[in-house]
Amino acid sequence: MTLMRQLPALTLAALLTLGAVRAEAAPEAYKIDPEHLSIGFLVDHIGYAKVLGLFREAEGSFRFDRETRQLSDLTVKIKSASVYTAHEKRDEHLRGPDFLNAGEFPEMVFTMTGSEPTGERTGKVTGDLTILGVTRPVTLDVTWNKSAEYPFGGGLLSKPNFVTGISARGSFKRSDFGMMYAVENGWVGDRVDLIIEAEAIRQ
């Protein structure tokens, strides 16, 4: 076989190899920016209204493939003592043994176990949520909002960065984690609705 006949085959092999490398390298690592992370919750209060609260300290990371829209390796750690509802006495109660018991269990952790796209920019993420040392499965509905070069710096974004933004919603029963205070009499709702907004920086 002449060199000229070999060239097309060699070129095709090189392209296939390059394509395989690119496919393997597609998932990108991200670190959640704590300055642009909001973890909120809603819990019913005696049926009159729902209390809106936040966790003000959390960190996390994940991998995301923009081509296939696959999310993987998502882990989020939340500081229990960072709970905030704009009411000092209530926040102290929430940090105590009736609720989060932050002294004994300083962190709540969500570890992803799977994901499934449901649309062009939506998907379901399943994972294990650990609260009070108890682990239960939780499902989040996730929306991929945007992935692009960040337009300005500041904080962790002191240099040009590529950022992905997501929104997530979910719910769980606190009684599933052994948090039984005021469940039976209905003073504090059992269901906790989650509201998550996050921006993450590509590493």
pLDDT tens digits for range 89-144: 999 999 999 999 999 999 999 999 999 999 999 999 999 999 999 999 999 999 99
Looking at 62-151, list the stretches that DSSP marks H as alpha helix, in order from N- to C-terminal side. Answer: 88-95
Residue 86 in any domain: the answer is yes
How many domains does the chain fold into? 1
Q: Which residues contact 31 (CB under 8 A, 6 or more apart)?
A: 60, 61, 200, 201, 203
Taking the model in full, what pTM does it have? 0.84
What CATH number corresponds to the domain at position 191? 2.40.128.110
Are 159 and 145 in contact by the 8 Å Cβ rule? The answer is: no
- Report the run of H or E that residue 97 belongs to, with start and end: none
Residue 20 in any domain: the answer is no
Residue 8 in any domain: the answer is no
Are 27 and 64 in contact by the 8 Å Cβ rule? The answer is: yes
- Coil vs helix vs strand at 24: helix
Residue 18 in any domain: the answer is no
Residue 133 domain boundaries: 26-202
Residue 6 in any domain: the answer is no
pLDDT tens digits for range 45-103: 999 999 999 999 999 999 999 999 999 999 999 999 999 999 999 999 999 999 999 99
Residue 114 in any domain: the answer is yes
Tokens matching residue 151:
């337009």
